[in-house]
């Protein structure tokens, strides 16, 4: 009897393994078949970019395509967002896959047949518009994943939600948007999502490679404004007033000691950057006020709070020492993009199997930011990099994301489709 039981178990395990292998192969075959569609879709969206909360055309393309695939569609979500719900033929959990849709106010300088020539108005200024961060590729990849998985829905053990998100780069002034608004409007509910996954194309890694990091992968980003209040006087008689420009200069230098001297840089890197200073109207008048604005980047939640407090104290105390006052305003931005360690450990073998073990690497955290982090605050998830740099260029030669020269090697998009599809299915299959 024991021998029969062992043989039965071996047969069951073999059948399960064969089924999994067959499904994996079907995903790979289907991804190859949709590759040309993915590239064509990416080029169309690239040629017609739209800024955050204005992705009307892109949103319609996404919603129409999902409906053609028999996927339930909810729109609009967060102004122009689209949520697709693919219910599998077997019971199981719910996994979400995300792609952002917005472009940037950048004039494209890449000479392509589908180069963007779009111009529009952004925060009161006429600007060029370009997919300089690769969100066009993200949309095309996720639509490819939707087609692949829709073709095998009867075998899916659970539900896949497709989150097509607007305004990752930030909403226009005075508007809400992005992942935070999608969460607020229930994108992770009905059905409730158990885990969320996303990718980002990058020129930092060559085409064919995937990179990730457990834990903190991308920084929290916050902004600050410091207004130094002095006392206006003639430039020839500074002792008759209080010079806020000199005080502001001292504050700028003082702020640099926070990440370099006041917090534990061995725990996690951080940055405090002053990006602009405005004060005065002519060369011989010491003004009343100077305003400076900047950004704060951090990879540790406690350090983030500590840095905020130190910025306020540093600015106020330096101003007081010079006879001035300082008003400090800190505005929270995106949280830390945090890859859940347990899910990362579970899914890392999927990435290695999909791209090849030698093409997957664990990398250092970066001080760039991603509003995918708002999804990860609500449900555990994993965000990873997809290399799209041409293999004949080094990372130093290739233009970075947000550059008007940013370029994507489209031969890497098919790997993005396979990776996202395998990640979704492997998560749903895992007990």
Catalytic residues: 334, 410
User: Closest by alpha carbon to 228, among 132, 307, 143, 329?
Assistant: 329
Q: Is the dihedral of CA 59, 64, 68, 73 positive or negative?
A: positive
Q: Could you tell me whether strands 337-339 and 215-218 are parallel, antiparallel, or unpaired per DSSP bridges?
A: antiparallel
Q: Residue 384 pairs with which residues in a beta bridge?
A: 199
- Rounded distance between C-alpha atoms, residue 128 and residue 50, angstroms: 10
CB 367 within 8 A of CB 220: no
Place of tokens 């021998």: 3
Place of tokens 């010491």: 286
CB 138 within 8 A of CB 199: yes
Distance from the Cα of residue 289 to its chain's centroid: 36
155-181 burial: b if 16+ Cβ within 10 Å, else e: ebebbbbbbbbbbbbbbeeeeebbbbb
CB 375 within 8 A of CB 183: yes
- Rounded distance between C-alpha atoms, residue 198 and residue 222, angstroms: 22
∠362-194-98 over CA atoms, to 5°?
60
DSSP 52-92: TT--HHHHHHHHHHHHHTT-EEEEEETTTEEEEEEE-SEEE
| Token pair belonging to 158 | 């659970």
Q: Residue 157 pairs with which residues in a beta bridge?
A: 90
- Rounded distance between C-alpha atoms, residue 209 and residue 357, angstroms: 10
CB 291 within 8 A of CB 226: yes
| Token pair belonging to 45 | 């969206």
DSSP 174-221: T---HHHHHHHTTTTTTTTPSEEEEEEEEEEEETT-EEE-SEEEE-EE
């Amino acid at each position: 009897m024991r021998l029969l039981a062992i043989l039965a178990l071996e047969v069951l395990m073999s059948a399960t393994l064969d089924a999994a292998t067959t499904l994996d192969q079907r995903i790979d075959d289907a991804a190859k078949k949709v590759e040309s569609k993915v590239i064509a879709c990416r080029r169309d969206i690239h040629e017609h970019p739209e800024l955050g909360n204005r992705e009307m055309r892109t949103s319609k393309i996404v919603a129409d395509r999902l409906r053609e695939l028999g996927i339930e569609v909810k729109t609009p979500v967060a102004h122009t967002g689209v949520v697709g719900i693919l219910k599998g033929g077997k019971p199981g959990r719910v996994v979400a896959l995300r792609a952002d849709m917005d472009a940037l106010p950048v004039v494209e300088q890449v000479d392509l047949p589908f180069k963007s020539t779009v111009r529009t108005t952004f925060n009161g200024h006429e600007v060029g518009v370009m997919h300089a961060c690769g969100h066009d590729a993200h949309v095309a990849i996720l639509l490819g994943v939707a087609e692949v998985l829709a073709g095998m829905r009867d075998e899916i053990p659970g539900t896949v939600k497709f989150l097509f998100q607007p305004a990752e780069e930030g909403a226009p002034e005075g508007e809400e948007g992005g992942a935070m608004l999608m969460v607020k409007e229930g994108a992770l509910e009905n059905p409730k999502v158990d885990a969320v996954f996303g990718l980002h194309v990058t020129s930092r890694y060559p085409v064919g490679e995937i990179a990730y990091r457990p834990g903190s992968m991308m920084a929290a980003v916050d902004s600050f404004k410091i207004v130094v209040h002095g006392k206006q006087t003639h430039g020839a008689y500074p002792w008759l007033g209080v010079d806020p420009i000199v005080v502001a200069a001292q504050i700028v230098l003082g702020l640099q000691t926070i990440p370099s001297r006041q917090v534990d840089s061995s725990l996690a890197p951080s940055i405090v950057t002053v990006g602009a200073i405005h004060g005065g109207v002519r060369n011989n008048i010491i003004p009343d006020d100077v305003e400076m604005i900047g950004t704060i980047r951090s990879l540790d939640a406690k350090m983030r709070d500590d840095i905020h407090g130190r910025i306020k104290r540093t600015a106020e105390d330096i101003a007081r020492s010079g006879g001035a006052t300082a008003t400090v305003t800190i505005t929270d931005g995106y949280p830390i993009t945090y890859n859940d360690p347990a899910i990362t450990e579970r899914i890392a073998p999927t990435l290695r199997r999909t791209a090849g073990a030698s093409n997957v690497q664990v990398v250092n955290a970066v001080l760039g930011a991603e509003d995918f982090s708002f999804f990860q605050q609500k449900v555990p998830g994993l965000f990873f990099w997809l290399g799209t740099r041409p293999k004949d260029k080094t990372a130093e030669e290739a233009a970075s994301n947000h550059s008007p020269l940013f370029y994507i090697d489209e031969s890497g998009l098919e790997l993005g489709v396979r990776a996202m599809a395998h990640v979704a299915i492997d998560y749903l299959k895992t007990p």
